[in-house]
Chains A and B, each alone.
Chain A
Amino acid sequence: MKIVIIGNSAAGLSAAETIRHFDTNAEITIITDEIYPPYLRCLIPEVLAGTKSLSELSYKSRDFFDKHNITLIKGKRANAVSPDSKKVLLEDGYEVSYDRLLIATGARPLSGGIKNDQIGNIFPLRTYDQALEAARVASSAKEAVVIGAGLIGLSAAVALRRKGLNVTVVETESHLLISQLDYQGAAIVEEELSREGIRFVFGTRPRAFVPSSGENLVSALVLDNGREIPAEVAIVSTGVQPNVELVENAGGKVRTGIVVNDLLQTSIEDVYAAGDCIEIEDAASGDTLLSGLWPLAVEQGRFAAYNIIGKHRPYPQPLVRMNSTQFGNIPIISLGLINSKNSNESLIYKDLNNRVYRRLFFRDNILVGCILLGDVNGAGVYTYLIKRKIPVENIKHKLTRGITSIAEVMKLKS
């Protein structure tokens, strides 16, 4: 069987490895438009900071493709999929035929729609190339601006600050990590990052980049309130959009992301999709959301592989809204639904001297989301409870104080 995978990152590689594990005869081909060996995309802020090189981001051994007998076509974009002839058309006119196709094309940064964003030294932060180029420019700069106080934006700000730049983060919303934290949690993280010297501007929209006189490079950012922030380098991190075009243009079903069923099949026969390019139903809310998380991409790649080789394993509904990170000395985990719209009870534990903040959201005694800040031990238990919608009436307060364990919900026979 000829299996073709478009995409050489989390989902694509996890699928390839799984297929090879079970099927020694399958012909596996991976197509990627990147020229680099597979790298840990989540760590590219370290490239911006200058603390990690490409080889320190590579996460498969050099002989990975040989060892797994995988044909790698790199540095070439897949331009189209032809479902009738079961072929992938590459940008150089070359055709690759498939019996089963996996689309693992990921996502790309949203432009942000700020005026003059085509001038020089303005970067998204999604690929190694972008991080490397931004790092080069930042090395000889003093002033930096970051648009967007999400996870990538804040990581970029920390990286630039570590290089010694003056960094201002501009966020349209009223506080940082708007998708992960509430106001109080965000205040703790903001204080921590401010201590490192990062400045913040909230609640105002970036209007336009100002080009330098003479060269066509960025020199400042003007905000809607008229304020001008000097910037010799700018990072724009205002979210991503899934790469759906291959499936869309082939007549496959696409809404925000590529639509897949529980076997991770697209609406096109023998075409599967996994990772950041798909949308999927969230276990906590029942909403259909963009997948967009490395751990989910790896998991989906694995399940897509099972189904591609005929093992028929439905992909269990994932918790899509989850993330973890650390800024300064504050570990952060955010899970599920973290607003009062989707819950009818919220409990808070605060130990601000130790900068521990925990807020749990319940709907009818079921944990639907939580913010864990400062102490994230045992977080996976909360993830499990949210995913499985287990009633936690009796242990709500223990969960809030962070003194429970999975043993509480095990069914022990006596």
Chain B
Amino acid sequence: MSKEILVNYEKCLGCRSCEIACAVAHSQSKTLVGAILNNEKPLKRIFVNQVKDKKIPLSCRHCEEAPCIDACIAGAMHRTSEGIVTNEGGMHECTGCWMCVMVCPYGVIRSLSDRRKAVKCDRACFDETDEPACVRACPTGALSYVTVDQFGESKRYRFLFEALSTLIR
């Protein structure tokens, strides 16, 4: 069973550590200071949203029937053998047509219109701990990287996974 990033939104403080860690992990220098000194604006692929009194971090769910893969007219968006949905390293380069941005119900694919490139969570942020950068950076344990059935049914209701996975059906 594949691992997913799960969100316990009750624990999220909205500190945005995940956003910074994600952006830095995808920068060339891999450090915040380095990225700033390189005049590089690191790009996050996880987004903390405020809804009333709750903070909801959202990133790509790597859907089983991913609308973004169906929608890609450029042959870029694909699923890797590890199950990761990405527009990096596919048959062709992303051309920035924004079809994937248009169909992603979570709104977690960014459009870089000046570079004509869509940017999303590609899980290219693991270190030797085998956890994504956003999860490693989360100080409260709101984000965790676990196989889905590691959660007891009684606990699952608190996690966004359920709310999210019902969305695209």
Whether chains A and B associate is: yes
Listed in ascending order, the chain A residues whose CB lies under 8 Å from chain B are 14, 40, 42-43, 56, 58-59, 61, 294-295, 298-299, 302, 322-326, 329-333, 335, 374, 376-381, 383-384, 405-408, 410-414
For residue B162, which residue of chain A has the nearest CB? A413
Kindly state the separation between the CA atoms of A384 and B103 in the bound complex, as whole angstroms.
Answer: 8
Q: Within B106-148, which residues are at the interface with A (CB < 8 Å)?
A: 106-107, 109-111, 113-114, 116
CA of A59 to CA of B164, assembled, Å:
31
- Taking a contact as CB atoms under 8 Å apart, the answer to whether B103 and A383 are in contact is yes
Q: Tell me if B70 is interfacial: C-beta within 8 Å of chain A.
A: yes
Q: Given A410-B163, A412-B9: A294 and B102 within 8 A (CB)?
A: no
- CB-based A-B contact count at 8 angstroms: 127
B54 close to chain A: CB less than 8 A: yes
- CB B141 to nearest CB in A, in angstroms, measures 18
Determine the distance from Cα of A282 to Cα of B109 in the docked complex, in whole angstroms.
25
6 interchain residue pairs of minimum CB distance: A59-B75, A295-B71, A378-B107, A380-B104, A407-B56, A42-B73
Residues of B within 8 A of A (CB): 9-10, 47, 49, 51, 54, 56, 58, 65, 67, 70-75, 91-92, 95-99, 101-107, 109-111, 113-114, 116, 157-158, 160, 163-164, 167
Query: Across the interface, which residues of A come within 8 angstroms of B105, CB to CB?
Result: 380-381, 383-384, 406
Tell me the dominant secondary structure on chain A's binding face.
Answer: mixed
Chain A residue nearest in CB terms to B96: A326
Query: Are B103 and A406 neighbours in the complex by a CB distance under 8 Å?
Result: no
Picked from A56, A322, A323, A407, the residue with its CB within 8 Å of the CB of B58 is A407
A293 to B12, CA, bound (A): 40
**Neighbouring A residues of B73 by C-beta, 8 Å:** 40, 42-43, 294-295
- The answer on a CB contact under 8 Å between B163 and A412 is yes
Interchain nearest-CB distance for B72 vs A (Å): 8
- Whether B99 and A326, one on each chain, are in contact in the complex, defined by CB atoms closer than 8 angstroms, is no
**Given pairs A59-B91, A383-B103, 9 additional interface contacts (CB within 8 A):** A42-B73, A295-B70, A295-B72, A335-B102, A379-B101, A381-B105, A410-B160, A411-B163, A412-B51
